[in-house]
Structure 1
């Protein structure tokens, strides 16, 4: 069987699908990933075959520029949860559509897997009349959100003689069942397996520690748009906290944070799961992949939760009782870090959530079910 993965060119949206792609490969199926920009190279580094479906564009630079232009302005229709009106940002699905469809018509996949923001996958599935499977990422995506993304892709549907997408055949929900917010009728629960690429890990991760360790990250997108200033308060708190702090800023320049105290360590790109395995708590921006990795780690967390789907992710963590969402500037203090490190309720709830996630069906188990779905659709065509 052949499976096409349609991935938006942002690591936080592409990487959550990689474990399922590996599971298909391990089961003997052929896998191809359609994406663009730096994500094509990252896919290759993950050991998978990739096609650059929009060569010559720099999605990171284009997205950062769009966000900077939009700051302080109301979002355009089709952006940031606005009602669909036939226009808007398609997360580069429109730019990838023609090439990805051409590749798919030649390669003839049996199934397409895509994220809520990778609706080019739904277009390909509609054109080839094969099932599409939506691989959800966090807590903020709904059927209405996916409809909005497809609406932004309306010009591509028109170019290829399609009225619009067919309903997804399955909606893979990777959030813990006790925290799930989706009511999609075709919802399948699947365990979230953190993936952030390979790395040669530093030895200090495995050295004995004499005091707690807090990992701090803003993911890959937010530093490009906002810089690293949103975590300056953590640096200030570190000066008054008997703990180690690890700044994982994805290669962003920490210079705007000023001189760092001795108990703050900066690291280059390092898989977040490995950092959290050596940590006692985490402070992060609230991106979907980061939030789910933090939940999987069983660590208490502070979630900043500003912009895009981050407020929804932050609210889910706070309601489950395994994290803290600061309410305002007055909350950004050493006391917040102390609570993160000492609150037994937060830690117990975080561990319970991780245990719940570990009991969910794995990507390997889900492959068999998806294979049957694709084979049934093939027989019925």
Structure 2
């Protein structure tokens, strides 16, 4: 019997790819022939079958520069124009030809694409494959317009990406795989149907040089706080240093990830209770934490929720401000959207470490996540439906 062929597809960015990987492995365990379509630096690097889903060597930085050169009007309204221009237009124009070539040789039966990578939806439709969107951030009806933007970008539509998006809001995929618990959704009532809930599961690539002491008991019995502004921190060195110094002022042991491209020396002198790394495998360190200070990236936020960890969110861009609001609204943490100095961070982290209400709320939400179907449950369901 021929195994069903399933492709997962993502923009080449950590926060877009990593959330899909637990489901990719689960589908593989369930017996499907699975690959992930992705670009540099992940193609060929993952401990999983990959196919090229974006031009070899092209980076997110290249796309950013092209968006600003092609659509300078984006600067007039980043909130409404950035996503359709970046993900809907420029990424789709470059990704679609690559995906066509890959899937012409290996036509998939099912394509699961992260909802910000509509080029995969476009090419899957051309190939006659079933499609499911995967939520990597809170659902907004705005995301439903991205496949229309991708079609326009790959056709002869002269409208600006945001003009296409404004006229095309709707949901086209055959279902929506959603790792966000209802308690965090801002627009839960508008989530597409059929909604396929899946348990959020922290995942990261193997890091052979990880300091083993990260997984050891806490230093001197101190509480442990993890500080990260993600793999794309918008160059916010000052914000990271403020967060680190504020967290350290509580007396906690502070573990810092400054990002794969970050420079630990850029933080300058830090207290002895602080350890700075470029990369820390979150899946490994999360069970050891008492609190986390982060940028509000959806992957980090959901992974912390999975483990019932109180959070301070200091957003730097993208969807991070919405996530900060959701964290505070759910009672599982504190939003630093208004900006915090060192004293403000210290006060907020101190509340997370000492305030049982945040921890209790985080544990309740973790229990909701634990009751959600696992990636293996969802994988079996999807294969049954093929």
**TM-score, normalised with respect to structure 1:** 0.86
- CA 337–371 in structure 1, closer or farther in 2 if over 3 Å, else same: same
Does residue 1:357 correspond to 2:355, yes or no? no
Q: State the match for 1:92 in structure 2.
A: 91
Residue 15 of structure 1 deviates from its aligned partner by 0.9
Matches of residues 174-185 of structure 1 in structure 2 within 5 Å? 174-180=179-185, 181-182=187-188, 183=190, 184-185=192-193
- What's the C-alpha RMSD, in Å, of the aligned pairs? 2.8
Partner of 1:10: 13
Out of 216, 222, 235, the residue aligned to residue 227 of structure 2 is 216
Deviates more, 1:9-18 or 1:146-155: 146-155
Q: 2:299 and 2:289 mapped to 1: Cα distance?
A: 18
Q: Is the 8 A contact 1:213 1:280 kept in 2?
A: yes
Partner Cα separation in structure 1 for residue 228 and residue 69 of structure 2: 24
Equivalent residue for 2:203, pick from 195, 201, 216: 195
> Match for residue 274 of structure 1?
284
Size of the aligned set, in residue pairs, is 362
**Conservation of the 8 A alpha-carbon contact between 1:35 and 1:96:** no
2:141 — aligned with what? 143
Q: For the Cα contact (< 8 Å) 1:12–1:288, is it kept in 2?
A: yes
1: distance between equivalents of 2:370 and 2:332? 16
For 1:250 and 1:177, locate their aligned partners in 2 and report how far apart those are by CA, in whole Å.
Answer: 30
Is 1:284 the counterpart of 2:300? The answer is: no
> Gaps spanning 5+ residues in structure 2: where?
158-163
1:58 CA drift (Å): 2.9
Q: 1:64 to 1:130 in 2, by over 3 A?
A: closer
Deviations 1:69-110 (A, max 9, x none): 89xx873599643399x8554362321101211221221210
- Identify if the C-alpha distance between structure 1 residues 76 and 284 changes in structure 2 by more than 3 Å, giving closer, same or farther: same
Does structure 1 residue 22 correspond to structure 2 residue 25? Answer: yes
Q: Is the 8 A contact 2:145 2:171 kept in 1?
A: no
Q: Is the contact between residue 309 and residue 362 of structure 2 (CA under 8 Å) also seen in structure 1?
A: yes
Residue 306 of structure 2, aligned match among 280, 284, 296: 296
CA contact (8 A) 1:115 1:137 kept: yes
Contact 1:216 1:248 (8 Å CA) reproduced: yes
- 1:338 corresponds, among 341, 344, 350, to 350
Residue 167 to residue 106, structure 1, CA distance change in 2 (3 Å) = same
Asked whether the equivalents of residues 235 and 261 of structure 1 are also in contact (C-alpha less than 8 Å), the reply is: no
Structure 1 alignment gaps of length 5 or more: 376-381
For 2:77 and 2:87, the matched residues in 1 are separated by 6
Q: How far is the alpha carbon of 1:256 from its aligned partner?
A: 3.0
Assess if the C-alpha contact under 8 Å between 2:113 and 2:134 holds in 1: yes
Residue 286 (structure 1) shift: 0.4
Question: 2 CA distance for matches of 1:39 and 1:318?
Answer: 33
For 1:221 and 1:260, how far apart are their aligned partners in 2? Answer: 22
- The match for 1:111 is 110
Give me the whole-angstrom Cα distance separating, in 1, the residues matched to 2:228 and 2:327. 16
How far apart, CA to CA, are the structure 2 residues paired with 1:149 and 1:76?
A: 23
Q: 2: distance between equivalents of 1:239 and 1:155?
A: 48
Give yes or no for contact 1:217–1:249 (8 Å, CA) kept in 2: yes
Q: 2:34 aligns with which of 5, 26, 31?
A: 31
* Alpha-carbon offset, residue 54 of structure 1: 3.3
Q: Which runs of 4+ in 1 moved over 6 A?
A: 66-70, 163-166
